[in-house]
Structure 1
Amino acid sequence: MAVQYKLLPINKINLDIDNPRIKQYLEIYGDNVTSDGIALALSFSAGNDTRSSLDALRESIRVNKGIIQPILVNKKIDGQYVVIEGNTRVQIYREFSEKDPQGPWDKIIAIVYDNLPVSQIHAIRLQCHLVGARDWDPYSKAKYLNQLSNIDHVPLSEIISYCGGKRNEVHKLIDAYCDMRKYYEPIAIKAGEDPDPREFSKFSELQNISIINSLQLHKYTKEDFAKWVVRGNIDTAQNVRKLPQILNNKMAHSEFLKTNISEAIKYLHADTNNLKKLETESMYDLAYILSKKLRDITLKETKALKWDDEYNEKKGILEDLQYSLNEVLESIDSLGENNG
């Protein structure tokens, strides 16, 4: 395998169209490709952490007048230079070059491989972006794994040998991606929304057999799940695992369909019969009893709450109470003085 270190002209380097973020952009826009669009596709991430990392990378390159680690490039048999790893850094150089043509942005340091076979290119991408320091967001990982497994028909054992991990973990990523494409994207588009790859984590949770069984038990389908994602009923991925409990609880189930999982969870910890009795009491009687209970809470009870397995849900109920109470008091105060 011939390898060379080179300073390559930016305008001689082609971005890697098999990068899942670029590939997704091309699938949407076809021939209407612009440099701004490619930049947006590369900067997109599944969370704020990755976006912050991108901003930090851009600033580091600007301050240091260049990159520290070389990009990886394949020189094809026809002489074309194609990025294997480093699309984002090449795009940053292009942006800087447009803004500062006299700056050191016309060439970039690269490790150049001579006509690598596809299998070795896959291995490099997987090692860099699925388990390496510059990992892709989960949706992009799943999209690439789906490309390898279901389109290029690379054996799963070979994929795992490149990036490590377990067979069921790779299957879960691919299945979640396929569910998004099959169920979520058509519904989002029909609702007038752009499909959001950041919803991937919810479909990743959907792959748990307990959730699938619960959907079937209550006569729901994956298409219903996708509708809930689009409508906002499934508002957080971390609570998707609570779905079987919610669907089994009449009040929580009803609240979930009206609002979302976060609201429905609050009904999981309440006795249905007691709630119905309490609903007939006045707001002031309930407030009096609750304030007394809170004043009388012991250190032992406080510690027990802190280490309760359901602490986050119970804390959420109290925070919701605090928010609602403040909102009512502010509304009353906004009415002005009582001169009656």
Structure 2
Amino acid sequence: MTTENYTLRNKKFTVDNRDIPESKLLFYTENPRVYSILNKSGIEPSQDAIYDQMSKMDHVKTLKSSIESNGGIIDPLLVKDNGNDTYTVLEGNSRLAAIRLICEVKKDLAKWGMVKCKVFPVEFSDDEIFALLGQYHIIGRKDWDAYEQASYLYRRHKSTQLPIQFMANELGITVGSVKKMIQTIEFMHNHHDEDKKHFSYYNDNYLKNKSVQKYRETYPELDDQIVSMIKENKITEAKDLRKLSDIAKCDDKQSKRLIRDIAEGKMDIYEAYDRVEQSGKLGHCIQQFRKFREYINRPEIIDEIKSSQEIYKKANFEINKIISRLENIKKKIDK
């Protein structure tokens, strides 16, 4: 056995390097690869249940073949000493599952049953575990997918009540990124959608859209309708939710009526989009004019222009150019 120093959050730990029998290694029950499936009942999953789930995963089967080809694992598992002759695998749960698959087939525990590990001490806290896994899976190699990363952050936030600002600083990522991930997982929990494939529908194309946001406030039932359509595969791709955004951006009587119909379940987003498209309101120039009008209608625009003499001069120059060009365009299109 050898020892080495491991630095985390400006704190040094003495880590032991040694081989440990696979039978003494425990899966980490917070592993997001299986948490959402096995914790629906609110009961912590058993070690057998975790192994049963992980052993069926394609990436574990791939790891099994790789480990067999290499004659063992290359990177040691990171484990925590539980103080009772067992060790929780903090990093390397998939490799542990792969090793157990090999042991079931090979029956050669002398060769396959001893696993290289880096052992963190009993005193290694939950906060330090979170920081360690964050380094590996959120800002490091990122082998957890976006849903798994967000789920882990959400559970961490709920269990500790740590401020989002603190969690973001600890991981070295933006507050906005952490907040967005947590809000998306909370939205999915509140609407009973545990399908990880739907994460991008909500996170990338629905919840972040400012044009849709005001309609979600006006029609609270819109969320339920959108979730229902996603669950029932009536919205076939995440990107199709951009059609709802395009309708909302029109911001006229027709678009408001169409979104109300969607919220009330009278129409799907495809039919509503087709109607707006047929009206010609989705033309590129119309969208650009509308964006410009929204920009200059902002109440703070005057204060921004008058914030300095230099900005005032440059803004005034551009305004005069814009007015001249618009007058010219108006004359031509009115002919």
Deviation at 1:130, TM superposition (A): 1.1
**In the alignment, which residue of structure 2 is the partner of 1:67?**
73
Q: After the TM superposition, which of the residue ranges 246-255 and 233-242 deviates more from structure 2?
A: 246-255
DSSP-derived class of the 2:72 partner:
coil
Alpha-carbon spacing, 1:42–1:238, altered in 2? closer, same or farther (3 Å): farther
Tell me which residue corresponds to 2:117: 110
More displaced stretch, 130-139 vs 107-116: 130-139
Secondary structure at 2:39's aligned position in 1?
Answer: helix
Structure 1 length-normalised TM: 0.65
Q: Match for 1:23 among 25, 31, 35?
A: 35
Distance 2:25 2:217 in 1: 51
**Shift of residue 56, structure 1, vs aligned partner:** 3.8
Q: Deviations over 1:82-125 (max 9, x none)?
A: 11100010011011111111263211111111121222111111
AA matched with 2:179? H
- RMSD (CA atoms): 3.3
**1:4 and 2:16 matched:** yes
Note closer, same or farther for the CA distance 1:261–1:133 as it changes in structure 2 (3 Å cut): farther
Residues 191-231 of structure 1: per-residue CA shift (max 9 Å, x gap): xxxx4221111121322133222344566432222111112
Q: Tell me if the contact between 1:123 and 1:163 (Cα under 8 Å) persists in the aligned partners.
A: yes
Q: Is 1:123 aligned to residue 124 of structure 2?
A: no
Q: Counterparts of 1:267 and 1:86 in 2: how far apart (Å)? A: 52
Instruction: Provide closer, same or farther for how the CA distance between residues 138 and 229 of structure 1 changes in structure 2, counting only shifts above 3 A.
Output: same
Q: Find the counterpart in structure 2 of residue 197 from structure 1.
A: 196
Q: What TM-score does the superposition give when structure 2 sets the normalisation length? A: 0.66
- Per the alignment, do residues 246 and 80 of structure 1 end up closer, same or farther by CA in structure 2, a change over 3 Å counting? same
Point out the more displaced range, 53-62 or 81-90: 53-62
Rounded Cα–Cα distance in structure 2 between residues aligned with 1:58 and 1:262:
45
User: What secondary structure sits across from 2:112 in the alignment?
Assistant: coil
Counterpart residue identity of residue 73, structure 1 = V
The yes-or-no answer on 1:35 pairing with 2:36 is no
1:13 counterpart (25, 30, 39): 25
Could you tell me which residue of structure 2 aligns to residue 299 of structure 1? none
Correspondent of 2:182 among 174, 195, 199:
174
Tell whether the 8 Å contact from 1:252 to 1:266 is kept in structure 2 after alignment. no
- Kindly provide the CA deviation profile for residues 24-59 of structure 1, in whole angstroms up to 9, marking residues without a partner as x: 344236477473653425765xxxxxx5x5554332
C-alpha distance 69-33 of structure 1, shift in aligned 2 (>3 A)? same
Equivalent position of 1:230 in the other structure: 231
- What is the distance in 2 between the residues matched to 1:262 and 1:55? 40
Name the % identity.
23
Q: Which moved more, 1:56-65 or 1:29-38?
A: 29-38
Cα pair 1:71 1:85 within 8 Å, conserved: yes
Question: In the superposition, relative to structure 1, how do residues 272 and 217 fare at CA in structure 2: closer, same or farther (>3 Å)?
Answer: farther
Opposite residue 137 of structure 1, the aligned amino acid is D
Structure 1 gaps, min length 5 = 45-50, 186-194, 274-340
Aligned to 2:4: none
Gaps in structure 2 of 5+ consecutive residues: 1-12, 282-335
Deviations 1:236-279 (A, max 9, x none): 11232331224666798789978965786566654469xxxxxx
Quick one: which amino acid aligns to residue 230 of structure 1?
K
Residue 81 (1) aligns with residue 81 (2): no
Q: Are the structure 2 counterparts of residues 197 and 43 from structure 1 closer, same or farther at C-alpha, using a change threshold of 3 Å? A: farther
One-letter identity of the residue aligned with 2:185: Y
**Residue 287 (structure 1) aligns with:** none
Distance in 2, Cα, partners of 1:42 & 1:89 = 10
Q: Secondary structure at the match of 1:61?
A: helix
CA distance in 2 between counterparts of 1:25 and 1:168 reads: 27
Moved more, 127-136 or 92-101: 127-136
Distance 1:122 1:220, change over 3 A: same
Contact 1:236-1:261 within 8 A present in 2 as well:
no
CA-to-partner distance for each residue in 1:46-76, whole Å, 9 max, x for gaps?
Answer: xxxxx5x555433211211211111100112
**SS state of the match for residue 28, structure 1?**
coil
Q: 1:149–1:196: structure 2 CA closer, same or farther, 3 Å change rule?
A: same
Alignment of 1:305-320 (within 5 A): none
Match of 1:160 among 138, 161, 168: 168
